[in-house]
Amino acid sequence: MGVRGKNKDTFAVWEELDIAVDDDSPFAYIYKRLDSEKHKDIEDRSWYIGIPVPNSKNGKRLSLRTSNKDQAKRKARQKVIEVMKDLQTGVDIVGTPVRDFVKAFLRHKESLVRGVMEGKKDGGVRSITKERYGLIESKVRNYFVPFVGEKTSAKTLKYKKFDDEWESWRKQNPAGRGNKKVSPKQVTIKDEMGMIRELWGWGQKEKFIDPLSKMPFDDYNLVEDEKIRRDTWEQDEWNKFKRRLREWLKNEKKSDDSDRIWESFVAYQLIFLLAQSGLRPKEWSLLKWKDIKYFDNEEAEFANDRTGVEMSIHPSTKTGFRKAFSRGGIYLQRIEQQTKFRKKNDYVFTHLNGKRMTPDFLSDIFNGKGKCDGIVEATKLKELTGKEIVPYSLRHYYATQSIYSFVPDTLIAKNMGISVQRLHSSYDHAYLRVQTPDLFKRSTKQSNIREMRQAGVGDFAFFTRRTEKQLVQPTPKSADSKYGIFISDEE
């Protein structure tokens, strides 16, 4: 037994053991510190163990939590044996700081990002979009890292901390390291749980985290995300919003800024197109004029309902290439008549300089981050609905109103690029509503548009074939994907 060192980290007591992790490594040792537990006599202080590990400067050091020497030696031998086993299985012995573990994970995810114009068929089934990578990166850096601590050893991460504390911590820390001010919704929290499990699984595979440790949220049914109700407008809320949106556009036209006038004009048309097509942000952003094909609506009930549109969705989007249909061709025609960029390979939604509008364009317009006054504030959307309405709510509006208008579920799902099962799971509340006689009474024949307007359905015209007794699924010859609802921007 002896004393080592001459500085503040001097070991007060030190003794070498006769065991090492392998034949080439120095023996392990136990010691007591001078710089800790100073209020105690040295003989009453805890023993520590130092285990030299190959390719590690300081090896592994940890407290044995006992002041008794004999007990410390027994514990020390057991710790050395555990390290030997971990080395044999490739486990990170010393432990990588969470900061570096996360960097390694994000490098891995970044390597899977496919090109902007590539689909999964081109990039591979494991590939992800740049937008998806950005979401993962922000979630991991803004929330996961501050939750566990960037200097914490990844090897010491425990599932129980996440199971017990993550949900409440997220609600109490909506910003993390970011700028969010609103407490996250349950669907957001569950999505983050899924990300954490992916990160954890990758960490176990790469030996950053103990491969035998339990994963967080094992007892959570994360698939239930699909049944969480999405915020969107009710019909009466939409009618009021529509009127306020027209006023917003009138005010924007008074500006001397030509960019502002153009962007408000495009945003207005885009809102109505999305409300009756359900397109995702990247899907509309990548549309080119060559992807647009108009068709006549022979059953038009409104003056601006005479043109439908078939849109070819770019293969690089979430669900790949598909044909999407809308009765809102008028809104694309308005843009086509005004834009200078009408060539086949020009993007449909562009700024005045011809640059493509990114998927974030409409979010910026809603929140007032663009050149225009924010739509949310200008239309008092929060006060009007009491909900957190965002541009993606337009997709949910399309889905719910199509369901309320008895559009066949196969057509809705096909147009949205999802399965019928997913449609029913995500919008179960909408199907429940139409099945409740006290809320929506369905007759044995389809009502005409004037009757439906009196019944409170408003601007929604059926675009399904009619018989006297029942709704009929369109046959393949009738181009069934072109059937759907029409939403007018007029009264």
**3-state SS assignment for residue 33:** strand
What separation in angstroms does the CA of 134 have from each of 140, 141, 314?
10, 11, 20
pLDDT of 223 reads: 55
305 belongs to a structural domain: yes
DSSP-derived secondary structure for 193-230: HHHHHHHHHHHHHTTSS-TTSPPTTTT--GGGGGGSPP
488 belongs to a structural domain: no
Residue 360 and residue 477 in one domain: yes
Residue 142 and residue 200 in one domain: yes
Residue 223 and residue 275 in one domain: no
Domain membership of residue 462 as a residue range: 235-482
Tokens of 330: 């008028």
User: Is residue 359 within 8 Å of residue 285, measured between CB atoms?
Assistant: yes
CATH of the domain at 442: 1.10.443.10
Tokens of 53: 């590990």
pLDDT of 164 reads: 93
Tokens of 364: 């910026």
C-beta contacts of 321-326 below 8 A and 24+ residues apart? 321/119, 322/414, 322/417, 323/481, 324/277, 324/278, 324/279, 324/283, 324/415, 324/417, 324/481, 325/277, 325/415, 325/481, 325/482, 325/483, 325/484, 326/273, 326/276, 326/277, 326/415, 326/484
* Boundary residue ending a domain (35, 70, 89): 89
pTM comes to 0.62
What distance in Å separates the CA atoms of residue 385 and residue 363, rounded to the nearest whole number? 18
pLDDT of 155 reads: 84
Write down the residue that tokens 């040295």 correspond to: 42
138 belongs to a structural domain: yes
487 belongs to a structural domain: no
* Boundary residue ending a domain (46, 62, 89): 89
Residue 15 and residue 116 in one domain: no
Residue 316 and residue 447 in one domain: yes
Residue 350 and residue 433 in one domain: yes
pLDDT of 458 reads: 34
Residue 137 and residue 82 in one domain: no
Tokens of 262: 């153009």
489 belongs to a structural domain: no
105 belongs to a structural domain: yes
CA atoms within 13 A on the CB side of 407: 32
Task: Please count the other Cβ atoms lying within 10 Å of the Cβ belonging to residue 112.
Answer: 14
Q: Consecutive 10-residue runs of the chain (491 residues): their mean pLDDT?
A: 50 90 91 88 92 82 92 93 82 80 95 80 74 92 94 90 94 81 84 93 90 85 57 94 97 95 97 96 96 87 84 89 93 97 97 95 93 95 94 96 92 94 91 72 44 35 36 34 67 70
* Boundary residue ending a domain (89, 121, 140): 89
pLDDT of 59 reads: 82
490 belongs to a structural domain: no
**Total domains in the fold of the chain:** 3
Residue 166 and residue 277 in one domain: no
Residue 249 and residue 208 in one domain: no
User: Is residue 155 within 8 Å of residue 209, measured between CB atoms?
Assistant: yes
User: Is residue 43 within 8 Å of residue 67, measured between CB atoms?
Assistant: yes
- If you count them, how many residues does the chain have? 491
Residue 464 and residue 356 in one domain: yes
Residue 68 and residue 168 in one domain: no
What distance in Å separates the CA atoms of residue 206 and residue 198, rounded to the nearest whole number? 12
Residue 74 and residue 113 in one domain: no
